[in-house]
Structure 1
Amino acid sequence: MFSAGHLLPLLLAFVVHTSTVLARPHSYAVWAADSATKRGQGNGLSSSGQPSVSYEHGELQWGLRQLYERTGNKTYYNYIVSGANNIVYDNGTVHGGYTISDYSLDPVRTGPTFLYLYSRTKQAKWKTAADIFRGQLNGHPRTAEGQFWHKLRYFNQGWLDGIYMGDVFYAQYTKDFQPTNATAWADIAAQFTLIYRNTLQAPGSANYTGLLYHGYDYSHTAVWASPDRGHSPEIWDRALGWYFMAMVDVLDIFPESNSGYASIQNILRALAPKLRDAADLKSGVWWLVMTQPGRAQNYFESSGTAMFVYSLLKGVRMGYIPDSDGSIVKAAKKAYQYMIANWVVANPDGTMDWTSTVEVGSLSGNGTFEYYVGVPTALNDLKGVAAFLLASLEYERL
């Protein structure tokens, strides 16, 4: 038997422990960032501890940079520096599996981190590292129209993913070092407009959304290429999410006086209402395969949803997207509430888990519905965690 004197400390300990476990932080952005960094995610190292140039790390570092600028907490800045140092030697050489001859746009997503660190420190290594990626773009293979191939091994293919991976860096580099390079600005705008024109779902198509297919094959040789423009058969949410994030981020960088600015903004303004309308009516979030809503095995996917929330809220906040009736912000807020109620899981150690992010989506196969829904989801997949951090930053600005 316990006496009252013995029970009181036990009860107090239980109350303290319970409050620690159940407490929700004031900021979900901070919670997401702290959880990811505590797990060692996005630090320039692979799961086995080897240096790794990863677009996912670049995505997280983009969010950490904004969080540092919002909070002044230098822990986030130091984490970015540490992660970048893991993949760049002191002489500026990018290592960690990066090979320019692969001509892949994915690694270039770490480039904005190099530019950011150079702007703050003026350390030559960061300029050298950025120059390497910029040099890759000079020789990167293209379609006859001028679209960057997603990777050398994907012959004549443009993917929505690649716009986010390559062109935010391309724009920031041009602004920082070649602001009067009209050829470069025109090329950047062309990357957005070419992919838009070649992947836009045509009116009258089955399951019409008016949004963009995952990618296209200009040569029409891929097994999935459509007869008309060579586009893939389905609209995959995360590919579209990458493209939306690229638009709202590159408009921050692009000179407004340049005609390319209006070209990109007009695409964003055309697509944003269609994206709003493609959300599931009840939940407010978006299906993995957006051209097959409600079909068996399809599901609500978390990374694409977070990317859409970030893009819509930022687009409205910055004036890139008109929202006179408030319906776009309302839709994004509804989706955000679903995210925190269903995909955020509190852990006893004070971190949060993030669920329902699909591991990968590729056009290396047949691009069918069955392919997309057959890819497993992963707990705390950084592509989703980083997108949730970005979405939370925008939601908390409201």
Structure 2
Amino acid sequence: MTTTSLTEYFDAYARDYSYYKGGSWCYEDGCLYRGLIALHEATGEDRWWRHLTRLVDGQVDADGNLAGYTMTEYNIDNVLPGRALVYLAAKTGDLRYRKAADLLAKQLQTHPRINAGPHWHKLRYPHQVWLDGLYMALPFKLEYGALAAKPQLGEQALAEMLTALNLTFDPPSGLYRHGYDEARLQAWADPKTGLSPAHWGRSIGWLAMAMVDMVVTLPAGPGRDDLTARFSTLLTVLAGLRTTDGRWLQVIDQPALEGNYAESSATAMFAYAFLKAARLGIKGAMQQVGADAATSLVENAMGADASGRMVLQKICCVAGLGGFDGNYRDGTPAYYLSETLRDDDIKGVGPLMMAHAEGELAKRATSARREAVA
């Protein structure tokens, strides 16, 4: 696909998008909002703004209430789409968006925490921190703090991120485990470390995106330097785990595992993280790694569905830890390989939009440098 056809694919995807959970406020829709924001910021094209406002306005009423949202569920996932509210509030001054963002910020004030500080993933996953949740909550807390002139929220977000990194880090691999159980109550948790047993690609993808989005927003200082250094180290490890065609695996560090496969959402997330980090000048962030990953997705993971429409394939629909829908997800490599794949799932398409936007910014910067030399 050419850049033009990929852009048209994104446009058609957003145009035809149906809310992931029937219109209820959810993180999946937030993945699309992040993609639309990235495309709007990178290109300035009005179509991305129109898609964003149309979809968000369908979930926010005149008083700033969110469709299907219940604060006391304490679901950390519900915070992610709040970043679109912060963006729209800053751009438009519309109080609906600010009130809705205030509601999510209020959730985080009382959202349960482990003793070490980071938030529980959900009320129904007590005493647990998952890498997914770091992306869902912490960039929002940082960006909302800037909007509301509450810098202490940014300081909290940074402290929580650094603590979570300490708790989930696996020194032998240089990677981070999907989950940590402070109480050591879950069957998936190592009784000594509290960690889940395997390295799931997308969970580390969520983490990488959280890290780069926080680095770009944090004020200069020792804490930002610490996070940047850890992110740089992670990027170096990730660069060595690519498949021969430049993607990343579902169980990211086990290429010999039977049934393991190049998974598209993780690959899109890492493409975005590498490209954005390279733009920021972060050590270890090789722009070409991100560009090659995005290109490989288009060449190897996009194809026509039964109707002839182009779709992004090889996206793990969902994966987690513990009990869900009558099953117990034990966090082993075999478990991650058992989860269903779904074409065009937004958890893959949204990050690909973001990676594409970063690619466009990189092209623009290269063109500007050439013009300056000429």
Is TM (by shorter chain) over 0.5?
Answer: yes
* Structure 2 residue aligned with 1:237: 201
Amino acid at match of 2:131: L
Q: For residue 357 of structure 1, give the secondary structure of its aligned residue in structure 2.
A: coil
Question: Could you tell me which amino acid in structure 2 is paired with residue 395 of structure 1?
Answer: G
Q: Measure the CA separation in 2 of the matches of 1:124 and 1:270.
A: 41
* Aligned match for 1:310, one of 256, 260, 272: 272
Indicate the residue corresponding to 2:367 in structure 1.
none
Q: Which residue of 1 aligns with 2:369?
A: none
Question: Cα distance, 1:29 vs. partner?
Answer: 5.2
Q: Is the 8 A contact 1:94 1:129 kept in 2?
A: yes
Q: Give the one of 268, 275, 278 matched to 2:241.
A: 278
Distance 2:8 2:269 in 1: 18
Distance in 1 between residues matched to 2:107 and 2:283, nearest whole Å: 33
Written as runs of structure 1 = structure 2, the 5 A alignment for 1:158-177 is: 158-177=129-148
Report the counterpart of residue 187 of structure 2 in structure 1.
223
User: Residue 321 of structure 1 aligns with which residue?
Assistant: 283
SS at match of 1:358: coil
Match of 1:71 among 43, 47, 55: 43
Matched, 1:197 2:166: yes
Deviations 1:278-303 (A, max 9, x none): 112x2221110123222111111010
Deviation sequence 1:70-110 (CA, Å, 0-9, x none): 33322211211111111111001112x21111111101011
Please state how far the C-alpha of 1:173 moved relative to its aligned partner: 0.6
Aligned partners of 2:355, 2:174: CA distance in 1, in Å?
24
Residue of structure 2 in register with 1:13 after alignment: none
Unaligned runs of 5+ in 2: 323-328, 364-374
* Matched ranges for 1:30-45 at <5 A: 30-41=7-18, 45=19
Matched letter for residue 63 of structure 2: N
- Deviation of residue 319 (structure 1)? 1.5
Give 1:243 shift.
Answer: 0.6
| Alignment check: 8 A CA contact 1:142 1:156 kept | yes
Alignment of 1:75-114 (within 5 A): 75-95=47-67, 97-114=68-85
Match of 1:269 in 2: 232
Letter of the 1:160 partner, please give it.
Answer: L
> 1:19 — aligned with what?
none
SS at match of 1:216: strand
Alignment partner, residue 52 of structure 1 = 24
Shift of 1:254: 1.2
Higher alpha-carbon Rg: 1
What SS does the aligned partner of 1:273 have? Answer: helix
Letter in 2 for 1:169: F
Counterpart residue type for residue 112 of structure 1: R
DSSP-derived class of the 2:53 partner: helix
TM-score, with length taken from structure 1: 0.85
Q: Is 1:104–1:152's contact at 8 Å kept on the other side of the alignment?
A: yes
Q: Distance in 1 between matches of 2:309 and 2:219?
A: 40
Aligned partner of 1:178 in structure 2 is 149
Shift of 1:28: 5.8
**Could you say which residue in structure 2 is the equivalent of 1:188?**
157
Cα distance in structure 2, aligned partners of 1:319 and 1:190:
23
CA 210–264 in structure 1, closer or farther in 2 if over 3 Å, else same: same
Q: Would the alpha carbon gap of residues 384 and 117 (structure 1) be closer, same or farther in structure 2, given more than 3 Å must change?
A: same
The answer on whether the counterparts of 2:42 and 2:358 sit within 8 Å (CA) in structure 1 is no
Q: Is the 8 A contact 1:34 1:351 kept in 2?
A: no
| 1:336 equivalent in structure 2 | 294
Do 1:29 and 1:388's aligned partners in 2 also have CA atoms closer than 8 Å? no
Q: Is the 8 A contact 2:199 2:252 kept in 1?
A: yes
How far has the Cα of 1:347 moved from its partner? 7.2
Q: Structure 2: which amino acid aligns with 1:334?
A: D
From 352, 361, 367, give the equivalent of 2:310: 352
Q: Residues 198-249 of structure 1, C-alpha deviation per residue, up to 9 Å, x if partnerless?
A: 111122xxxxx31111111011111011133201000000010011011111
- Secondary structure in 1 aligned to 2:311? strand
Q: CA deviation at 1:46?
A: 3.9
SS in 2 for 1:221: coil
SS of 2:283's partner is coil
Report the residue type matching 2:137 in the other structure: G
Decide whether the 8 Å contact of 2:201 with 2:248 is kept in 1.
Answer: yes
What's the offset of the Cα at 1:147? 1.2
CA contact (8 A) 2:20 2:29 kept: no
CA gap 1:26/1:335 in 2 versus in 1, 3 angstroms: closer
Is the 1:32–1:388 contact (alpha carbons within 8 Å) kept by the matching residues of 2? no
TM-score for the superposition, normalised by structure 2: 0.90
Tell me, in whole angstroms, the C-alpha distance in 1 between the residues paired with 2:303 and 2:169: 36
- Alpha carbon RMSD of aligned pairs, Å? 1.9
* Cα drift, residue 333 of structure 1: 3.0
Report the identity percentage: 32
Return the alpha-carbon distance in structure 2 between the equivalents of residues 28 and 56 of structure 1: 24
Aligned residues: 356
Q: What is the one-letter code of the residue matched to 1:297?
A: G
What SS does structure 1 have at the residue aligned with 2:86?
A: helix
* Aligned counterpart, 1:7: none
SS at match of 1:278: coil
- The alpha-carbon deviation at position 355 of structure 1 amounts to 0.3
Q: Map Cα deviations across residues 150-186 of structure 1 (whole Å, 9 max, x no partner).
A: 10111100000001100111000111112443xx233
CA contact (8 A) 2:35 2:352 kept: no
Aligned partner letter, 2:321: L
